[in-house]
Amino acid sequence: MLLTIDLDSEVPIYQQIRDRVVEAIASGDLEAGSALPSTRQLGADLAINFHTVNKAYDLLRQQGIIRINRKSGAVVRRDRRSGPPEPGIAQEWEERLRTLLAEAVVQGIRPDEVLGRSSAVLETFASSEELPT
Q: Of the CATH numbers 1.10.3720.10, 3.40.190.10, 3.30.450.20, 1.10.10.10, which one belongs to the domain with range 13-76? A: 1.10.10.10
Q: For residue range 82-110, list pLDDT tens digits in order.
A: 989 888 888 989 999 999 999 999 999 99
How does 28-56 read in b/e, with b if 16+ C-beta sit within 10 Å?
Answer: eebebebebbebeebbeebebebebbbbb
Q: What is the pTM of this model?
A: 0.84
Binned at pLDDT 50, 70 and 90, residue 62 comes out as very high
Name the residue type at position 127.
Answer: S
Domain ranges of the chain: 13-76, 89-126
Between helix 50-62 and helix 39-46 the angle, nearest 10°, is: 130
Q: Are 56 and 74 in contact (CB under 8 A)?
A: no
